[in-house]
A and B are shown apart, each in its own frame.
Chain A
């Protein structure tokens, strides 16, 4: 059980990294792009770059906000 936990923790750390919000935003961005492209027939090539920029800014803001 301990080894299984360590194995899971290793892959979580390897893939998700320090801030899970970034990974969550990327997944949301991809799902939204897929929905816009296939369901709404909008060629939403601009959405993922915008979400990536917002995710990075948000993550940086969270780490460096001294008012917390």
Chain B
């Protein structure tokens, strides 16, 4: 859902300020590329041995999850600016208005086409990766595809209805939650792929998910107190001066 919100922000900014036809062409081209990648990679992954697959997928999910958690913790503590969809939308609008119009390869506005193509492809690639890996590990890609498709449809319909970026979505906390899930599943599958037998088998996830969330929340408190501590001596010296 987070990726759909980001892609929608780019598509709306481009379509409203430039031209809808080229924007939709770019979006459609990206969706075709995503469909080809999914069709090529999905079944191929299904033929790999489960142990090796879990090791590789676990490693990738864990790396993704830790990067998401890192960003979410930094944003929650003010070390990194919150990803504000409203300001991102305004930045895209300003850039789209400044760009010159150029017709190329049967597309009337090449800028709109490439911007929509890149935005949808990049965000979509993350969705495809998560859906394929989660679905394949549980040997149920259908359920993972339905879940992702439902989230994308909800975001798209809402975006078309309001014709504006979805600023009310608490994006950072959603990223935090996604980071927790990716890290937990990545740790679980990665270790299993390396030959570990988890105590309680699959039930270990019921412990792993809250533990990862608690550790990440503890880091938020740690960084906040560290920030306060770093600011305190400066205030004291100001008082002395």
Contact = CB atoms under 8 A, between A and B. Distances in A.
A binds B: yes
Interface of A: 14-19, 22-23, 26-27, 29-30, 33-34, 37-38, 43-45, 47-49, 52-53, 55-57, 59-60, 63-64, 66
A27 B64 CA distance: 13
B166 interface: no
Interface stretch (B8-16, B108-116, B192-200): B192-200
B69 A56 contact: yes
A27 B193 CA distance: 13
Contacts of A66: 230
A-side interface mostly: helix
Contacts of A33: 190-191, 194-196
Contacts, number: 98
B138 interface: no
Nearest to B197: A43
Interface residues of B, number: 41
Contacts of A57: 219
B86 to A, nearest CB: 24
B28 interface: no
B196 A27 contact: no
Contact of B195 (A18, A34, A56, A63): A34
A59 B70 contact: yes
Contacts of B215: 53, 56
Given A22-B63, A37-B195, A60-B70, 4 more contacts: A15-B63, A33-B194, A52-B187, A64-B227
